[in-house]
A and B are shown apart, each in its own frame.
Chain A
């Protein structure tokens, strides 16, 4: 099977490519990149005026499958991914039951292979049952296909446990993804602590709840020499902690979510439960720091923390609403917004959602090198569209961007050379 992508602007940050090239795909792999390839009898995709990038990678997604399929499942979640131009997702283990054993890992991998529209890379639990008490069988899980370990949604409270988890995971060269949150400092808070929480009379979560655990985990990484990745960095302090640690040579990476570099806690006004997430939307100074961190390379990846929740779980009083928003279908335009605002170059932006997360997870995706699997996204960076929750492909409609105008979208998404999404 042959496909030729013609006349697109190819951006492949891993290979420092940004030029008008044609791409020939043969049997699901990239066979050739060159200007003006001869079409011959191959199927041609006209990419004139479009960006051609590696398929996007979202390293922080909750697919909710198994067990919480009323929110999302592997089929709908990967469909939403494909519509967002995302060809690979790493899914968090806080399903029901949780992904702390081979059976669940294999269920996810098999279901994704058979029925999914994107590559799914499971992330296994750090501790059994996410309870923070006993290490999960990371060796077995890694062998079975898990690419990293995290108790995401919950922090590993105990310092000794986190230390041993880092050490143990390093045995198998798997990164630990830290959900850095000191629950004793969260103390029942439900939004960022600051003037807005004071005004709304909602209990605040201080920045130190994130920074304290970020600092601890960075120091544990420094102590153990293990690979640490900090999930959803949202505060000025955390960005600074990461920057300093990297300067000291700690093996450390981190990610930021689009809502944390686009929105501030002002979005909560009106008790908008679709502006409730964890970590919470922060202050303008935090947003500026996250943007600066993306710009100067302190932050290694953009990941959505796609967290689908049923309407009923959001249609309640703010304090008892579930944390999280869907993000797969808005990842691309929100990332491109930073290009429009001159915070990132186009190539930097694409790297943050392709080769850099691939590198963190150690997966062979995120480039357009010859011989690579042909996961490719064709992007119209200027197409404007309105976020209409009902039209999202995710099973849940809890977007923080309802009614907002987006600029940029995937026109076609190819998974191993096969079209999994095409914009109508």
Chain B
């Protein structure tokens, strides 16, 4: 049976969601003071760069941006065969900062658990918040996003695909049913 692909968000829709999230972040943190963005590789790092751009457009200030690779913090070392480890690139201290973790899709919550550990290993943030483009449910850990682009109830065997253009701008979000 051929896979069925349903577009959930187009470029404009993604753009609007990210603009709203940028506003919500600024509102909740009362501006950009001590605010840092950390994107989770890969996907979240691209969205984090887009959010940094939006915040700068709204607030006129560039907030620090880092990327984090959570491979070293995963809990499935013995059962996955792709062992590639990406680089963590955070060139600012996280201690006493308000860290916004950004990822494209929130599913079981295990990636976020690993990302929390990864950030905490780098220092002691004042708080950690979570921004997500798509929350598809099925959490296996008590993790809740602070900013959500779109809630999308899915079944477990469906997949969410986020497409990026060569400049790493999110182009479309689709639901894939097989």
Q: Do chains A and B touch in the complex (CB under 8 A)?
A: no
- The residues of A with any CB-CB pair to B shorter than 8 Å are none
